[in-house]
Amino acid sequence: MPETRFYDEELKAAFPLIVQDEAAKGEFSHFLVPKDLLPAITHYLHTQPSLHGRLALLWAVDNRPVCDTYGLHYLFTLDPSHRWVLLSAELAEGDRLFPSITPHIHAAKWYEREIRDMFGLIPQGHPDLRRLVRHEHWPKGTHPLKKDFPWDHILGRQQGEHHFRHIEGEGVFEIPVGPIHAGIIESGHFRFSVAGEPIMQLELHHFWKHRGVEKLFEQQELTTAVPLAERVSGDTTVGHSLAYCQAVESLLRLEVPRRGRYLRSLFLELERLHNHLGDVGAICNDTAYALPHAHCGRMKEQIMQLSDRLTGSRFLRVVNRVGGAAVDLTAVQLAEIIAELDRIEKDFSELESIIVSNASLTDRLETAGVLTERTAWDHGVVGVVGRASGLNQDLRRDRPFAAYDELQVRVVTYRYGDVRARMRVRMDEIHESMRLIREVSRKIPQVPVAVEPAHRPQAGEWALSAVEGWRGEILYMVMARENGTIHRCKIRDPSFANWPAIQWAVLGNIIPDFPLINKSFSLSYAGNDL
């Protein structure tokens, strides 16, 4: 607490006009800020060595039905202390303008464009105000997250064209890739500018299949929306449902029993395992190295079949509920998990030695798609990609949730920032996930797995939740409405933070290496588009 007070007092001394919300919970400091001060105070948080704040989330809320204002909220993580600092500003109903912070915090670029699209609020001074989420065929004036926009409204269609940035000069060519791809993946458009072979520029144009997930949450009750969270990104069922449940449990004043917390950690690590195994194989496959791809696919399938036997779902759906775990495991099942992991780890260790000793593979992966530590931090990169670039951050250690405060997570980092580093992070984390699951099986207590809600939050109450999913940080902000329903649910999948950074990682590389670089990031299209 003394350290917290130091950070708070430093901020208030630098900006006397800000007001601290004394009612904020102990996990973060909350300040009410005049909108005109937003660029100065966010720049201070970001650059002051004692704070070293990283923008983690930026969102808006339409409060007009209650108080005729829009709310803007800026969540920073202070790297020295791993503490959250939240800045909030208000816009009157007739005021659509707010100052952009993108010119000095690159990580804000997509967030501010998203707010413009979904709320009609305009970030003044933003260097790129083209549409992001709302594609050009969306009618003008369509802002779906305003409260007066019906959730079941069927949009009309208008003609429009996205204007890409062009590099002109002799020998410069543009190469479009997507949005329709040959593989079974979601839609994403990549446009390259090349001079000869090296990539001079990559521009992303995603958000092709907007599902209105955040709008759909507003039609749900707090305790019954878990299935929707599970479907935000289908390969991250446990991560998203857990993040949602934790936010709601904070609103409902629920203390999850220790056995439920241990089970949540176990299922989250199983999810991490099968995804990391698949990605290691897929990276090798993109170098035409079929042997590791085949064996990683086999081991991934073994984990998914194990998950199906334990829970009835290969993707671990319905394992989380508000109040704890929805699935319990017997001693026999825990023993089955350990036996299966022993077999898989033996196989993977043998395969790992083959992979790392293959000079041809190493030559292909090293120096490909380098993302420097500075670039990664400036753009708010999280998870595997960030740790491969030297960012020593992992919520399981830094802001423990579930049972991680009792499990002592070992965080894996590399400094090279290339495809090989991103693959090595995954390989090391495979072993760490297996170790954590074994530790869970030894320590799991014999107590109930869940509790029932007994408290109902007041309208306007909200809570934040953070989970280290297999890709990286998953963030949820859930705000309650009357009668136990949801007023606003803001979601940040790690893909939303990491997609812009791939545009920097490919520079100077050649087009044939892009599939490899893209796979090493392994980002979600669905989780990105909410």
On whether both 108 and 225 belong to a single domain, the answer is: no
User: What single-letter amino acid sits at 266?
Assistant: L
On whether both 112 and 255 belong to a single domain, the answer is: no
Residue 90 belongs to domain spanning: 2-124
Q: Residue 239 CA to chain centroid, in angstroms?
A: 10
d(CA 199, CA 195): 7
In a domain, 97, yes or no: yes
Is it the case that residue 2 has pLDDT exceeding 50?
Answer: no
The CATH code of the domain that includes 20 is 3.30.460.80
pLDDT at 219: 84
* Per-chain mean pLDDT for the chain: 94
On whether both 106 and 235 belong to a single domain, the answer is: no
pLDDT digits (tens, 9 = 90+) for 216-232: 999 899 999 999 999 99
On whether both 113 and 232 belong to a single domain, the answer is: no
Arithmetic mean of pLDDT, 446-450: 94
Rounded to 5 degrees, φ, ψ at 195 are -125, 100
pLDDT digits (tens, 9 = 90+) for 312-331: 999 999 999 999 999 999 99
Arithmetic mean of pLDDT, 436-452: 96
pLDDT at 171: 86
Q: Find tokens 């909350």 and name the residue.
A: 30
Angle at 286 between CA 283 and CA 290, to 5 degrees: 90
pLDDT confidence band for 1 (50 / 70 / 90)? very low
Which letter does DSSP use for residue 36 in this model? G
In a domain, 23, yes or no: yes
pLDDT digits (tens, 9 = 90+) for 118-153: 999 999 999 999 999 998 888 988 999 999 999 888
The CATH code of the domain that includes 282 is 1.10.645.10
Rounded to 5 degrees, φ, ψ at 510 are -105, 155
CB atoms within 10 A of CB 446: 7
* Domain end residue (candidates: 124, 143, 162): 124
On whether both 246 and 390 belong to a single domain, the answer is: yes
In a domain, 204, yes or no: no
Reported as type and span, the H/E element at residue 57 is strand 53-62
Closest-CA residue to 132 (of 153, 151, 117, 144): 117
Arithmetic mean of pLDDT, 420-444: 98
In a domain, 411, yes or no: yes
Written as six digits, the tokens of 60 are 């808006």
Bridge partners of residue 58, in order along the sequence: 74
**pLDDT exceeding 70 applies to what percent of the chain?**
98
Is it the case that residue 486 has pLDDT exceeding 90?
Answer: yes
Q: 254: which residues sit within 8 A by CB, 6+ positions away?
A: 322, 323, 451, 453, 455
Angle at 312 between CA 476 and CA 293, to 5 degrees: 80
On whether both 332 and 452 belong to a single domain, the answer is: yes
Q: Residue 23 CA to chain centroid, in angstroms?
A: 28
Least confident segment among 22-26, 109-113, 468-472, 520-524: 22-26
In a domain, 252, yes or no: yes
Number of domains, the chain: 2
**Per-residue CA distances from 351 to 213, 288, 354 (Å):** 40, 16, 5
On whether both 228 and 119 belong to a single domain, the answer is: no
On whether both 119 and 225 belong to a single domain, the answer is: no
pLDDT digits (tens, 9 = 90+) for 51-86: 999 999 999 999 998 888 999 999 999 987 889 999
In a domain, 360, yes or no: yes
> Which burial class, exposed, middle or buried, applies to 208 when counting CB atoms under 10 A from its CB (0-12, 13-18, 19+)?
middle
In a domain, 198, yes or no: no
pLDDT at 239: 98
On whether both 349 and 478 belong to a single domain, the answer is: yes
In a domain, 99, yes or no: yes
User: What single-letter amino acid sits at 46?
Assistant: H
pLDDT digits (tens, 9 = 90+) for 321-359: 999 999 999 999 999 999 999 999 999 999 999 999 999
Angle at 113 between CA 107 and CA 119, to 5 degrees: 130
On whether both 105 and 225 belong to a single domain, the answer is: no
Is it the case that residue 174 has pLDDT exceeding 60?
Answer: yes
CB atoms within 10 A of CB 196: 9
Arithmetic mean of pLDDT, 284-308: 97
Closest-CA residue to 177 (of 195, 189, 194, 164): 189
Arithmetic mean of pLDDT, 380-394: 97
On whether both 415 and 278 belong to a single domain, the answer is: yes
* Domain end residue (candidates: 70, 91, 124): 124
d(CA 254, CA 453): 7
Closest-CA residue to 343 (of 448, 434, 225, 223): 434
pLDDT at 484: 87
* Domain end residue (candidates: 60, 89, 124): 124
On whether both 114 and 232 belong to a single domain, the answer is: no
Which letter does DSSP use for residue 450 in this model? B
Omega before 144 cis (within 30°)?
A: no
Angle at 147 between CA 144 and CA 149, to 5 degrees: 45
